[in-house]
Amino acid sequence: MAEHINTTNTAKQPAATVRTAVAGVGGYSGGELARLLLAHPRLQTTPPLFLGRVADEASSGRVPLERLHPQLALGGGKTLPEVVAFTPQLIRDADIELVFLALPHETSRGWAPEWLDLGVRVIDLSGAWRLQDAANRAVYKLHDVDPAKAALLQSEAVFGAPELHREAIANARLVANPGCYSTSIILALAPLLHSGLVDVDHGIICDSKSGVSGAGKKATEKTHFMYAADNLSAYSVFGHRHTGEMLEQLDLTAGQIQFTPHLLPIPRGILSTIYVRLAEVATPEKIESCFRDFYQSSPMVRIHQTPNLPQIQHIVRTNYCDIGFNLAPDGKRLVIVSCLDNLLKGASGQAVQNMNLMCGWNEEEGLQ
Whether the CB-CB separation of 350 and 32 falls below 8 Å is answered with no
Residue 169 to residue 8: CA distance in whole angstroms: 14
Q: Sheet harboring 158-159: ordered strands across?
A: 62-64, 82-85, 49-52, 20-23, 98-101, 121-124, 174-176, 158-159
CB of residue 204 vs a second copy: minimum separation in angstroms? 11
Beta carbons within 10 angstroms of residue 153's beta carbon: 20
CB of residue 265 vs a second copy: minimum separation in angstroms? 6
> Based on CB atoms, which residue is closest to a second copy, 97 or 322?
322
Contact segment (CB under 8 A) with a second copy among 117-125, 171-179, 245-253, 263-271 equals: 263-271
Instruction: Return the residues of window 272-311 that contact a second copy according to CB under 8 A.
Output: 273, 275, 277, 296-302, 307, 309, 311
Q: By CB under 8 A, tell whether 238 contacts a second copy.
A: yes
Residue 361 to residue 18: CA distance in whole angstroms: 11
93, 224, 251, 293: which one binds a second copy (CB under 8 A): 224
Instruction: Return the residues of window 308-327 that contact a second copy according to CB under 8 A.
Output: 309, 311-318, 320, 326
Beta carbons within 10 angstroms of residue 342's beta carbon: 27
Whether the CB-CB separation of 362 and 368 falls below 8 Å is answered with no
Question: Which of 202, 312, 175, 218 minimizes the C-alpha distance to 258?
Answer: 202
Beta carbons within 10 angstroms of residue 301's beta carbon: 23
CB of residue 257 vs a second copy: minimum separation in angstroms? 11
Q: By CB under 8 A, tell whether 232 contacts a second copy.
A: yes
Q: How far is CA 139 from the centre of its chain?
A: 18
Contact segment (CB under 8 A) with a second copy among 117-125, 164-172, 192-200, 257-265 equals: 257-265
110, 333, 360, 365: which one binds a second copy (CB under 8 A): 333
Contact segment (CB under 8 A) with a second copy among 49-57, 130-138, 266-274, 283-291 equals: 266-274
CB of residue 195 vs a second copy: minimum separation in angstroms? 19
64, 265, 331, 360: which one binds a second copy (CB under 8 A): 265
The length of the chain, given as a count of residues: 368
Instruction: Return the residues of window 49-108 that contact a second copy according to CB under 8 A.
Output: 70-71, 73-78
Beta carbons within 10 angstroms of residue 250's beta carbon: 21
Q: By CB under 8 A, tell whether 335 contacts a second copy.
A: yes
180 as an active site residue: the answer is yes
Helix pair angle (162-171, 348-358), 10° resolution: 50
Give the list of residues 6+ apart from residue 222 with CB closer than 8 angstroms, or none. 215, 228, 263
Candidate list 180, 290, 339, 359, residue with the active-site label: 180
Q: What are the catalytic residues?
A: 180
